[in-house]
């Protein structure tokens, strides 16, 4: 069961990383549903730049490596204190993202009637919770 969780999480994170690279270099597919909107408006709450989008892509790939190392899928790089700390940080970040900021993102958001909010409720927040739990499970 643990191996299914790790490999599915790594696959999902790698795909999301590729999507961020696509967006950083001008891709438009899915971008309207990926950025929170202000309540009652169709304008995004913020506009991420190319460097920030690429940074997210790189961080997601780093999480992939941490999960693979902690799950003992990379033989030359065994799990160690750094990967354990990385799993703790990743689990915390993903679970906090699932809980949200109580305005635009997370299970407890106030803005609920935008395209992003619906996707966040049914896809993004549950996915973050799953990724956070996967990171936490690898600690044991």
pLDDT 10s digits, 36-92: 887 766 778 788 899 999 999 999 999 999 999 999 999 888 889 999 999 999 999
Asked if 9 and 131 touch (Cβ cutoff 8 Å), the reply is yes
Inter-axis angle of helices 50-70 and 81-99, nearest 10: 130
> Which pLDDT score is estimated for 59?
97
Backbone angles phi, psi at 34, to 5 degrees: -105, -10
- Residues 83-115: tens digit of each pLDDT: 999 999 999 999 999 999 988 899 999 888 888
> Which pLDDT score is estimated for 103?
87
HSE-CB at 89 with a 13 A cutoff on CA atoms is: 12
The whole model's pTM is what? Answer: 0.92
HSE-CB at 126 with a 13 A cutoff on CA atoms is: 5
d(C-alpha 26, C-alpha 2), whole Å: 37
* Contacts with 13 (C-beta within 8 Å, 6 or more apart), sequence order: 60, 61, 63, 64, 67, 131
- Domains held by the chain: number: 1
**36 vs 14, higher pLDDT:** 14
Supply the range of the domain harboring residue 55: 2-137
């Amino acid at each position: 069961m643990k191996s299914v969780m790790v490999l599915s999480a790594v696959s999902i994170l790698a795909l999301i990383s590729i999507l961020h690279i696509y967006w950083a270099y001008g891709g438009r597919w899915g971008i309207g549903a990926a950025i929170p909107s202000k309540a009652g408006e169709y304008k995004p709450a913020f506009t991420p730049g190319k460097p920030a989008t690429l940074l997210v892509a790189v961080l997601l790939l780093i999480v992939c490596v941490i999960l693979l190392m902690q799950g003992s899928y990379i033989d030359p790089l065994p799990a160690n204190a750094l990967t354990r700390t990385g799993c703790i940080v990743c689990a915390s970040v993903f679970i906090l993202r699932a809980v949200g900021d109580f305005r635009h993102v997370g299970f407890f958001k106030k803005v609920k009637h935008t395209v992003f909010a619906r996707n966040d409720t049914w896809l993004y927040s549950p996915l973050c919770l799953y990724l956070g739990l996967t990171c936490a499970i690898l600690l044991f």
